[in-house]
Amino acid sequence: MKRSPSNLNLSWTKFTTLAILIVGAIVVLSPLIVVLKTSFTTADNHFTLANYQTAWHRGGFLLAFANSTLVALGVTAFQIFTSALAGYALARLEFRGRQVILLLILATLVIPFQLLVIPVFIILKWAHLINSYWALILPTAANGFGIFLMRQYFSSIPVELEEAAALDGANRFQILTRIMLPLSRPAIVTLFLFTFIGEWNDLFKPLVFTTRPELRTVQLALSEFQEQFTNDWSLLMAAVIIATIPVLILFLIGQKQFIQGISSTGIKS
């Protein structure tokens, strides 16, 4: 039985698309494979796990992991809280100037944090928060992206659910905590991943707002480690892998909710 030209064209299109994706995956993954391979080899190209043990102890990553986890979780918790409240208000409450406020929030997305570092530093110094965990948490406790993300997802939830809850005697706060937030799990997971990964990879705030060694984060420890072992590529690559593993694991765990959250919040304007 002969295949129709349309079926042949479709098969050829699928094959071409698959080939392009495979080539793209190889191009993207090649540097990662080189990094991984280098981290497991010695100077004479023998396999070893000692690089990771050496990098872990010499880099002081135990304390750095604890600090980065505390800061990332703190910022993430604040951003989820502030984004949920502001996003719900912008999505459901009717008040004068709502669209203007939304536009102003979106405008903050194009302002680099580096432009705000001087006033932020002055405020933190005035409040005696320099060289503390609060100096790493409070400057990014609220974020325009998170507010917009939650607003978009809240807008996609049928308003009839809230009306039914209101008829049962629920107030706004109960509607938000018992109905809207449970239904917004994909958006919350998306915001959690974006925020946690961003804070885990942040070097700027620890570099500017802290000088105490006991407040070193993972990226600051990695930067100092690179300065000490510039010529030892095996140790450097092992340190990079160590700093990347938590983020990779976290993303793999939440990738399904992440994709769902992104696809859902990008539909409704």
Position 264 confidence tier, pLDDT thresholds 50, 70, 90:
low
Per-residue model confidence (pLDDT) at position 170: 86
pLDDT above 70 for 8: no
Listed by start position, the domains of the chain span 5-39, 60-265
| Euclidean distance between CA atoms 131 and 198, whole angstroms | 20
Burial class (CB in 10 A: 0-12, 13-18, 19+), 212: exposed
3-state DSSP assignment of residue 118: helix
pLDDT above 60 for 190: yes
Per-residue model confidence (pLDDT) at position 64: 95
DSSP string, 16-63: HHHHHHHHHHHHHHHHHHHHHHHHTB-TTS-B-SHHHHHHHHHTTHHH
Token pair 């750095």: residue = 64
- Helices (H), ranges, the chain: 5-39, 50-58, 61-92, 98-107, 117-126, 133-137, 144-156, 159-167, 172-175, 181-183, 185-200, 204-209, 218-228, 233-265
Task: Report, as an integer, the average pLDDT of 44-60.
Answer: 88
Give the single-character DSSP code of 96.
Answer: T
pLDDT above 90 for 90: yes
pLDDT above 70 for 185: yes
CATH class given for the domain over 60-265: mainly alpha
pLDDT above 50 for 9: yes
- Structural tokens at position 62: 């135990």
**Contact assessment for residue 134 and residue 215, using Cβ atoms and an 8 Å cutoff:** no
pLDDT above 80 for 74: yes
Looking at per-residue pLDDT, the higher value among 45 and 125 belongs to: 125
- Distant-in-sequence, close-in-space partners of 261: CB < 8 Å, separation ≥ 6: 149, 153, 186, 187, 188, 189, 190, 191
Looking at per-residue pLDDT, the higher value among 238 and 255 belongs to: 238
Per-residue model confidence (pLDDT) at position 229: 78
Task: Report, as an integer, the average pLDDT of 235-264.
Answer: 82
* Average pLDDT of the residues of the chain: 87
Q: Name the range with the highest mean pLDDT among 67-81, 230-244, 255-269.
A: 67-81
Looking at per-residue pLDDT, the higher value among 266 and 245 belongs to: 245
Per-residue model confidence (pLDDT) at position 104: 93
pLDDT digit string (tens) for 128-182? 999 999 999 999 999 999 999 999 999 988 889 888 888 888 888 899 988 899 9
Per-residue model confidence (pLDDT) at position 262: 65
Per-residue model confidence (pLDDT) at position 17: 83
pLDDT above 70 for 267: no
Per-residue model confidence (pLDDT) at position 126: 95
Looking at per-residue pLDDT, the higher value among 131 and 265 belongs to: 131
